Every structure is written in structure tokens, then in C-alpha cells.
Chains A and B, each alone.
Chain A
Amino acid sequence: MRKLGESVTNKLDRVFNPRSVAVVGDKQALGYMWLKSLSHFQGKVYSVQIDPNELPGIAQLGVKNYLSLNDIPGPVDYVIAAVPRAAAPIIVKDCIQKNVGGVCFFTSGFAETSTEEGIRLQKAITDLAREAGLLVVGPNCVGVYNPRIGLLHNTLQSYGDGGPVGFITQSGTHATLFSLAGPRNGIRLSKSVSYGNAAILDSTDYLEYLKTDEETGIIGMYIEAVKDGRRFFNLLREVAEKKPVLIWRGGESEDGARATASHTGALAQSSIIWQALTRQCGAIKVDNLDEMIDTVKALLHLKPARGNKVGLIAMSGGQSVSIADTFAREGLKVPQLTRKSYQRLSTFFNIIGGSYRNPFDVSSSFLMSENAISNLANMLDVMEQDTNIDCIVLELFTIVSPFSRDLSKPDPLVDTILEFKNTTKKPFLTIVNAVHTETLAIEIRDMLTGKGIPCFPSFERGARALKRLVDFYRFRREQHLN
């Protein structure tokens, strides 16, 4: 008998990179979502369905159907099961007999229901699979996403190009949302997995896999609990040294105080220990999907931060005060520039209707200037040269859009920003607040993102992402000093 063991990572490679996939139990009621999601899959797709009423629909999709997994002629690397829960143990037995790489149960109704029947069935599939060394993803999850080979779990997901970001999540919805929001934010995924009830494989197993996965350079995780905390702690410490790991822990509000006899025990709430864990391991703690996306975006598209001092360029007086307040509130510093910088600024910056202490208020020198483009290039260069500044932030407007009306056409302003982004040695980001027109803001952000210019939708989100980036690189530096 093969047991689960050190070969889990090797076995997972087959699950994450299958050459053949079988869907068991897809049906009209689901809109044939599984088979449709696999319409761009580069390998072989099979259907297994015994309900005669479902067969015409499956045939219409051009997928060959079998009455049993074991009727499929060739090998099957990955099985997606959407069967009624009572049939789950039979499917596991079939998977073992067929010697598949792994099975993902979309099926729910197991231990998560806290019912006797659900717990019994989960134990049944767990025992069978463990004994045979079969990998089970889930149950109660959407399983694996690998865009490079077109292995999708939602028809809206992108495919073809992969990227460097891996995502491990207990929640299937978060897997879908992250994979959909990612590309719009310049984030391309290598692989993701939703692991649901973690009957056999827990987040730690997937982290172990992504640790060695060469396609994955950054790892995001959504976790509510881990099964083996010590193993997770030790592994996280090891992985975070090599690849940035972001942790979004769900369920913090449910962590209650415990009855204990010591001060220490009373204060050691689970949410506090998770925070300690991320700090200790050098992982990055995020609190929601937006923060996950913003921070991954910053890691991907911003240069490493050498310190926490920001140079801020805003479009008006009020906004320059507001942006400075927001970045300071997040714990970043907004220092004065060097004398040399002020001398240079005085040669071109119009202080009537503007100011350049830091933050810059560029109303008169940019928004209402004939030399807008060259002035902006000079301002950015001042920030670049200034030794008091570690990171650079540029606000762009929608109320008086400095961009051409047709965002699809070449624009000298965009070229200037892009050139700066490509040459700067400091973290650089842009912010486009929506103000009155969400539509235009989205168009501008998408246009900038499409050109590789990192853009954030509010001062708060830009500041928070930059702070996490700064903290991450500070931890790395401290780590290397020790």
C-alpha cells in the first residue's frame, strides 16, 4: 500500500499540472460549469456521468462521457467530483483503482456541516484515500487553477499566460475573486488552489509545494485555521526567507478569550498569536482581499524599499495635505527634501498656486502649466535624486484629467510616467482617486496598469500597500544583519 508521505509534493505536481482531467457528475443544474471551465484545457477532458438525462447536454459540449472512471481508456491525472455526498466514497474507490493523481471534491455537506452524516462521510473518504496514498483536494472546494495549461474552475478566469503569483485559500470564492481581480491589477497567477475542509491536504502541504515551484515567486494565503501549527510555523519561516508570503487570516472575530490561570494565557488570543507568527516569520499580514491584491501588486511592480520616507506629488493644495496625512497615518514619514532639491525646484516650480515642500502641490506647475510634461519629469527626477526620499507617490486626477481624451492613443504624459517607472531605483506608485467618475477612474487605472505602471484607487490603499512593502524589506534587511 502506498501511504501519504514525503512524496506529497511530487504527487501534487501531477495534480497542479495534469495532462488529463475527468469531471464526475457535472450537470445542467450547475450549468455544466466544470466542463465549460475546461474548454481551453490543453490536455484531455473526460466526463463521467450516469444520469441519462444529462448525457445530451454533455455531448453538446463535445466532451466524451463515460459511465465510470475506470471506463476511461487513458490515464487520468486530476478528477473533479461534483457528485452527491453519499457517492463520494465510491468515487474515491474508483480514483484509487484508476490510479489517478488526485481528486478534488466540489461536493460539500461533509464535516463543515457539523452533522453526524457529514462527519462520517468525510472520515470515510479520508480513511480510504490515506490508506491508498490518494491525494484529495477539499472536500467542499473548487480545487486547482493553472492558467498556463487552461485548467480553470470558472469560465471568467484568464488562461494562456501564467505569472509568478501562487494563491492558497481555504475559501473557493476567494480563489475565484483573487484570480479574477488579479489580472486587472497586473497580477498574473502561476497556480492557485482552494482546499476547503482540508481532509487530507492542508494549507501547509500546498505551501510546501509552492515553495519549490519554480513558476511561483510570491505566495498569497487565505487561512482560517491550520491542522499542524508547528509544521506550518517552521515551514512558513523557511519559505518566507525565499519568497514573499502574504497571509490573510479569516475568522479573527470568532477568536474568543480563554479561561486561563495566568496573565499570559488570558492575553494569548488566537488573532494575536497569528499576528506574532507573521511578524516572526517575516510573512506579510493582510486583512482583506483588497489588501491582498494591493500588496501583491506592490511587491510585483515596485522596486525594493530602502526606507520609509515618502515623496508625495499631489494635484492640488487640499489633496497634498490629505495625501500627506494619509501616508503619515499609516506610519510612513513625509520628510523635508534636501537643500539641493529645493534649489533645483525653485528654478522651474511655480509657487503661485502651488508649493513644493513635500508634499508637492502641482496645480500651477502641472495642471495649469504649458510645461506640464517637462515639469513633471523634473519633479520626479528631483524626488529620484533626493537622498531624503526612499519612495515616490504620484497622484493623478479625474476631475481635470491630464490625460488625452482618447486613452487608447499614445500620450506624452503616460510616456513620461512610464519612462520614470522603468528607470527609477525607488518604489514608485500612482494613485487615481475616483472622486466623481468611477468609470473614467477605472479607465485610467486600467490603462496605466496595462502599461505596467502600478496604480492604486485611493490614498489609503496606496499608503497601506506601500507600508507593507517597506516593512517587508526592512524585515529582510534585519534578517540579513543577524
Chain B
Amino acid sequence: MTSKIIDSVLKNGRTVLTEVESKQLVAEAGIPVVETKLAKTKAEAISISKKLGFPVVLKIVSPDIIHKSDIGGVKLGLANATQAGKAYTEIMAAAKKANKKADIQGISVQKMARPGVEVIMGMSKDAQFGPVLMFGLGGVFVEVLKDVAFRIVPLNKRDASQMIREIKGYPLLEGYRGQEPANINVLEDILLKLSDFVDKNPKIKEMDLNPIFAYKDRALAVDARVILES
């Protein structure tokens, strides 16, 4: 299996995919991902926003800007065309201020997803065992508490089921204190799709789907980051 996105990024001499490219790749893997389009002008940003439906999120798309939020490159909860247009102008100005030489491809526009239980899935390569997958709860659970489980690719159904249940925060997925529970079958299915996809695409070096919003009936990858082998 070859991926057009992977081939074209490598042809451009890059190994880090942009947000839009990363999400296209995630969609190729058959994993539901929030629809994200690239706007190259303010007018485009507004028309895409209208098509996707408000509220929307705008983010800078540049391989040279990694920490987008830190430089003011992300605007959330934009409720109408006026706000979206204003956000476009502000993000462009902020990006140019932060890095004059940055290669700016445009600004990504996506519908703001309804919040769910935040989970993270990811892939990296172990020096001895090759591709491995990670599952955990998003946010502080992964960053501070490191409450994650790993399995070596390829995963089978039992592996997917066990790694989700292995994390300490598992009760949060079951709907803790009246919170909406996550659909575990859907998460297992996504892990298996991810396993299959990275198994067939050895050029992928690292991958984060972070966060994925898990709902009672489905799950949606809201952000993605993909790095290729050089």
C-alpha cells in the first residue's frame, strides 16, 4: 500500500506532515477525523467556515511552526463569518511576527468538535521490536501521569481490548460521575485500524492522534501529528 500524501511530502524533502496532511493520512487509515481544510486567503477561510458550519477553529499551517498555540496561531470557538475573518488576519500577523522566514502554507479551518472524553493514541518505533502503539487518556493523564499502555504491532482484538483496560484511568471511559461514557468497541476498532495502517506503511516513524474525542456512540480524532522516516 502506498500513500500519495506520504510520497508527496517525502518528495518535497520534508518528514514532518502538516496538520492538514496528517489528518488526511488518518482519514486514509479509515479513522474518523474532524474535517479540516486549508484556506489560503481570508475569503477562503470564511467560505470554508460557512460550509463546515459554526463554531469553527482556525490554526496556522506551517512546517516551521511547531508550537502553534504559543505564538497565537490557534483561534477556537469562532461563531460567525466576521469572527473567522478577523481570526484569519490575526493569525497571519502573529505567525509572521513569530518567524519571518516561516514557510506558511495557509490556515486550517475545522468545525469545532463537541467535547468528549479525551484519549490519545500514537505510534512510534522501538529499536528492537519495531512499530508499537500507545493508548491513554489525553491531557494531564498522558503528560503528567504517563498513564498509558503499549502493544507491539500488529495488534489483535484481545491486545486492543486489554490495552484500553490496562490504564489506571479506565473508569473514566466508563462514564465516571454521570459523564458521557466512551464507546470501547469503537476505540478498539480504531486501534486495530491504526495497527493495520502503520504495519502497511513502514515510512511512518511516529504518530500522535491527540486528542481523540470519545463519545458514547463514536470517536473523532481532533488533532494529529505524523512524522516520517527520513
* Partner-B contacts on A (CB < 8 A): 225-226, 229-230, 232-233, 260-265, 267-268, 270, 272-273, 275-277, 279-280, 478-479, 482
Q: How far apart are B55's CB and chain A's nearest CB, in angstroms? A: 27
Say if the beta carbon of B124 comes within 8 Å of chain A.
Answer: yes
* Closest B residue, CB atoms, query A230: B130
Is B70's beta carbon under 8 Å from chain A? no
Contact A264 B124 (CB under 8 A): yes
Question: Do B159 and A280 touch (CB < 8 A)?
Answer: yes
Q: Are B149 and A276 within 8 A (Cβ)? A: yes
Can you list 21 A-B contacts (CB < 8 A)?
Answer: A232-B128, A232-B129, A260-B124, A261-B227, A262-B122, A262-B206, A262-B208, A264-B124, A267-B148, A267-B150, A268-B126, A270-B128, A273-B129, A273-B150, A273-B152, A275-B150, A276-B132, A276-B163, A277-B152, A482-B156, A482-B158
Indicate if the CB atoms of B143 and A263 lie closer than 8 Å. Answer: yes
Question: How far does the Cβ of A86 sit from chain B's closest Cβ, in whole Å?
Answer: 32
Residue of B at shortest CB range from A226? Answer: B128
Interface size counted on chain B using CB atoms at 8 A? 33
Give the docked Cα–Cα distance between A265 and B120 (Å). Answer: 13
Chain A's interface: helix, strand, loop or mixed, by majority?
helix
A384→B123 CA distance, assembly (Å): 47
Q: Nearest Cβ distance between residue B123 and chain A, in whole angstroms?
A: 6
Distance (Å) between the CB of B46 and the closest chain A CB? 33
- Cβ contact within 8 Å between B227 and A262: yes
Nearest 9 CB-CB pairs, A to B?
A264-B122, A229-B128, A265-B124, A229-B129, A276-B150, A262-B206, A264-B134, A264-B124, A262-B208
Chain B residues with CB under 8 Å of A272's CB are: 150
**A232 partner residues in chain B, CB cutoff 8 A:** 128-129
Q: Is B132 touching A268 in the complex (CB atoms < 8 A)? A: yes
* Other contacts beyond A267-B142, A273-B150: 12, CB < 8 A: A229-B129, A232-B128, A232-B129, A233-B129, A260-B206, A262-B122, A262-B206, A262-B227, A263-B142, A268-B126, A268-B132, A273-B132
In the complex, which residue of chain A has the Cβ closest to the Cβ of B130?
A230
From B127, B128, B152, B210, give the contact of A280 (CB < 8 A). Answer: B152
Complexed CA–CA distance, A23 and B164 (Å): 54
B37 lies within 8 A of chain A by Cβ: no
| Given known A-B contacts A260-B124, A262-B227, A268 and B134 have beta carbons under 8 A apart | yes
B227 CB contacts on chain A under 8 angstroms: 261-262
In the complex, B207 has a CB within 8 A of chain A: yes
Interface assignment of B97: CB less than 8 Å from any CB of chain A: no
A263 to B134, CA, bound (A): 9
Nearest chain B CB to A328 CB, angstrom units: 18
What distance in Å separates the Cβ of A183 from its nearest Cβ neighbour in chain B? Answer: 34
Residue of A nearest to B122 (CB): A264
The distance in angstroms between the C-alpha atoms of A272 and B122, with both chains bound, is 15
Q: Mark B36-57, 1 if CB is under 8 A from A, else 0.
A: 0000000000000000000000
- When distances are taken between beta carbons in the complex, the residues of chain B under 8 Å from A279 are 151, 162, 166
Which of the listed residues B126, B132, B207 has the most CB atoms from chain A within 10 Å of its own CB? B126
For B159, what are the chain A residues with a Cβ–Cβ distance below 8 Å?
280
- Among A261, A264, A272, A276, the one with the most B-chain Cβ atoms within 10 Å of its Cβ is A264
Q: How far is the CB of A265 from chain B (nearest CB, A)?
A: 4
Q: Bound state CA distance, A279 and B208, in angstroms?
A: 23
Inter-chain contact A273/B123, CB cutoff 8 Å: no
Q: How far is the CA of A220 from the CA of B116 in the complex (A)?
A: 45
Residue of A at shortest CB range from B133?
Answer: A264
Set A229, A264, A276: member contacting B130, Cβ < 8 A: A229
B218 within 8 A of A: no
Q: Which residues of chain B come closer than 8 Å to A263, judged between CB atoms?
A: 120, 122, 134, 142-143, 208, 210
CB of B146 within 8 Å of the partner chain: yes
**What separation, in Å, do the CA atoms of A33 and B112 have in the docked complex?**
74
> How far apart are the CA atoms of A478 and B208 in the complex, in Å?
30
Q: B124 — which chain A residues lie within 8 A by C-beta?
A: 260, 262, 264-265, 268
Closest to A227 in B: B128
**Contacts of B126 on A, CB cut-off 8 Å?**
229, 268, 270, 273
Which of A264, A277, A280 is within 8 Å of B208, CB to CB? A264
A255 CA / B100 CA spacing, docked (Å): 40
Is B220 on the interface with A (CB-CB < 8 A)? no
Q: Given A270-B127, A270-B128, answer yes or no on A233-B152 (Cβ-Cβ < 8 Å).
A: yes
Q: Given the complex, which residues of B lie within 8 Å of A275, measured CB to CB?
A: 150
Question: How many whole Å from B221's CB to the nearest CB in chain A?
Answer: 14
Taken together as a complex, chains A and B put the C-alpha atoms of A260 and B206 apart, in Å, by 9
Give the nearest-CB partner of B135 in chain A: A264
A351 to chain B minimum Cβ distance, whole angstroms, is 39
**What is the CA–CA distance of A262 and B128 in the complex, to the nearest angstrom?**
19
Shortest CB-to-CB span from A33 to chain B, Å, is 34
The reply to whether B206 and A267 contact each other, CB–CB distance below 8 Å, is: no
Give the CA-CA distance A279 to B159 in the complex, in Å. 9
CB distance from A247 to the nearest CB of B (A): 13
Most buried by B among A226, A260, A263, A275: A263
Kindly list chain A residues whose C-beta atoms are within 8 Å of the C-beta of B146.
267
Q: How far is the CA of A267 from the CA of B157 in the complex (A)?
A: 23
Instruction: Give Cα distance in the complex from A225 to B128, angstroms.
Output: 8
Contact of B16 among A230, A261, A264 (CB under 8 A): A261
Q: What is the chain A residue whose CB lies nearest that of B149?
A: A276
Kindly list chain A residues whose C-beta atoms are within 8 Å of the C-beta of B120.
263-264
Most buried by A among B16, B123, B129, B130: B129
Taken together as a complex, chains A and B put the C-alpha atoms of A267 and B141 apart, in Å, by 12
For residue A249, give the distance in angstroms from its CB to the closest CB of chain B.
11
Chain B residues within an 8 Å CB radius of A262: 122, 124, 206-208, 225, 227
Contacts of A260 in B (CB 8 A): 124, 206
Q: Do B206 and A265 touch (CB < 8 A)?
A: yes
